[in-house]
Amino acid sequence: MAKLRTPVTSRDHIQGPEDAPLTLVEYGDYECPSCGSAYPIVKRVQEKFGKRLRFVFRNFPLSEIHPHAESAAETAEFAAAEGRFWEMHDLLFENQEQLSEALYSELADELGLSPTALRQALEVSKYKDRVRTDFSSGVRSGVNGTPTFFINGTRHDGPFDYETLVLALREKNGKATP
């Protein structure tokens, strides 16, 4: 069974408390329709588990089939450098069908970030290495498509509908609490 090889650290994008008994890691691609459908499901799962759940998002752009996946990932990392990762992450998924340089500028503006600085960062691939690091850690951990979820370090091989994810998390929660 595939295991998460790169532990969650402070360099990750994290929602939820550090000492939560449950950690859900998603390797995702902003242009992937399946990740788009997982996005509201993860939100519901987060609401359901509250402080018992820590959620981590890592980049896994499938650039050969999704021409905007890499630039969208780099846009989210640009926002992260300004402390606005999650807002950008949400906006990118909510506007998944319009991904383009024009949209990125608009979203940056909406978050009070400089569209010019974003354009320059994309031009010089400033955050490419950051995205690649996530991608490689995913490859090494057995990511097998997007989205791939890991629950407390083990790959979740089942479907990712709300009910299945909740069940899988509950099972781990039972094990995590003494």
Partner 1 sequence: MHVEPIPGKAVLMSAEGDRMSKVLPPGTPAPDFTLPVTPDQKLSLRELRGHPVMLAFYPADWSPVCGDQMALYNEILPEFQKFGAEVVGVSVDGVWCHRAFADARHLHFPLLADFEPKGDVARAYGAYRSAEGVSERALFVIDKNGIITWSYCSPIAVNPGADGILEALESLPK
- Residues in contact with partner 1 by CB under 8 A are 1-2, 5, 29, 32-35, 60, 62-66, 135-136, 139-146, 154-155, 157, 171
Nearer to partner 1, 50 or 158 (CB): 158
Nearer to partner 1, 31 or 77 (CB): 31
Shortest distance, position 114 Cβ to partner 1, whole Å: 31
Let me know: does 5 contact 140? Beta carbons within 8 Å: yes
Nearer to partner 1, 105 or 141 (CB): 141
Nearer to partner 1, 51 or 140 (CB): 140
Shortest distance, position 96 Cβ to partner 1, whole Å: 12
Cβ-based neighbour number of residue 44 at 10 Å: 12
Let me know: does 37 contact 147? Beta carbons within 8 Å: no
Q: At what angle do helices 69-81 and 128-141 cross, to 10 degrees?
A: 110
Strand segments (E) across the chain? 13-15, 22-28, 53-59, 148-151, 154-156
Shortest distance, position 53 Cβ to partner 1, whole Å: 20
141-175 burial code (b ≥16 CB/10 A, e <16): bbbeebbbbbbbeebbeeebeeeebbebbeebbee
Shortest distance, position 63 Cβ to partner 1, whole Å: 7
Of 42, 23, 16, give the one whose Cα is nearest residue 164.
42
Nearer to partner 1, 43 or 140 (CB): 140
Shortest distance, position 119 Cβ to partner 1, whole Å: 26
